[in-house]
Amino acid sequence: MSQPWFSLEDVRGLDIRRELRRLDEYLESGWNDGVIRIPLPCKGHAYASESEAPFFEIEQFWYRRMTDIIRAEVLSSSFVHYWHIKPYRLMFKPDDGGPAKRVWGEAYTSDRALDLEEEIYLSTAHFAEDGLEVVPIYVMKWSDSTHLAEFGDASSWPIYVFFGNMSKHIRSRPTMYCAHHLAYICSLPDKIRDHYKEVYGQAPTDDVMTHLRRELFQAVWRFLIENDPDLDTAYRSGLVLPCHDGRSRRFVIRFYTYGMDYPERIMGRVCNAFSEAFGEYGFNMFKLITNDILHESEVGEWKRIFTHLVRILEAFDGNNSTSILNKRYRQVPTFGHGTIRRFSNDVSAMRKLAGRDFEDML
């Protein structure tokens, strides 16, 4: 406004709130509001198809389209500075003249990335005439339910995606904003019991409620896939998108991993939304599931072993041995930048410990 060419007549009648709202609506990678529908089963009631069964609607499902996130990402400066658009084998040759060794650690240097690249080139060979560079996108999905408050039942169940084309050392930095929120899985509301009783005249059993929670998880992913019209094209033949460097490339999506804990793994075992949508292209859901080191090791076996050791000490001479254990842990110095933190509280109480705390204790 301080520039000499600025004219007050250009902004006369301008409504800032309205224009900001229009700007939010214009953002291609913005949030959308949807409705999730899940069918209601009941023993003794049969229907010709699942679509004819009574259903329950869950409103205010907030989501973004995955292809919109990809469009915004390849137009950003991080695409030029941090993306690896071709997979490769990383080798290390020792100075002593020994044989070269394979270096593992990144998604784009893995055998799976090389296999996916070969699969993509075979499926998009008929597009070679356009002369565009084909770039595989390694989509890494994550989801985990989180309790938000110390009191009450406030919780959040986000789905977010990373791109394996970036180094894990870049993706792990919170300041790089490499985690893209895709959706927030809504919880199964308590009023579904009332709706179920109105429809069938009886309350749902525990088995039915377990089934409905699984159906909700799959319905969310089915909704995300069906309401992203470009996703099938991006998986099958690729999307031609302009990039930050001014060039256009053909981007082909491949789901690389899906990080989820044990309850979510159970929800995705039988009828899976991804298999329904991409099964005809050779998609295999079981190749996506990664090892859950946190729940298998630190918060799994090690937590159970440590709990058992504390019980042995308490059974031996009461609180005396556990006090010695707590004292010795407090005497352990810190190590590195956040590698091992100081133990200020009694470790034997195990109050509100995170996975990193059990890792430090080990």
User: What are 299-337's pLDDT values in tens digits?
Assistant: 778 888 888 988 988 888 878 888 888 888 888 888 877
pLDDT higher at 342 or 247: 247
The residue ranking higher by pLDDT, 12 or 105, is: 105
**What pLDDT, on a 0 to 100 scale, did the predictor assign at position 164?**
94
pLDDT class of 361 with cuts at 50, 70, 90: confident
| CA separation for the pair 120, 239 (Å, rounded) | 13
Could you tell me the residue ranges of all domains in the chain?
Answer: 63-290, 295-361
Write the pLDDT tens digit of every residue in 113-141: 999 999 998 887 777 777 889 999 999 99
pLDDT of residue 335: 80
pLDDT tens, position by position, 31-45: 889 999 999 999 888
pLDDT at residue number 248 = 93
pTM of this structure:
0.79
Tell me what percent of the residues of the chain surpass a pLDDT of 90. 36
Judged against a pLDDT cut of 80, whether residue 260 lies above it is answered with no
pLDDT category of residue 18 using cuts at 50, 70 and 90: confident
Binned at pLDDT 50, 70 and 90, residue 10 comes out as confident
In this prediction, residues 87-108 reach a mean pLDDT of 91
Amino acid 57: pLDDT: 92
CA atoms of 120 and 132, how far apart (whole Å): 14
pLDDT confidence of residue 79: 92
Distance CA 50, CA 40 (A): 9
Mean pLDDT, rounded, for 231-258: 92
Question: Where does the pLDDT of residue 70 fall: very low under 50, low under 70, confident under 90, or very high at 90 and above?
Answer: very high
What is the average pLDDT score of the chain? 85
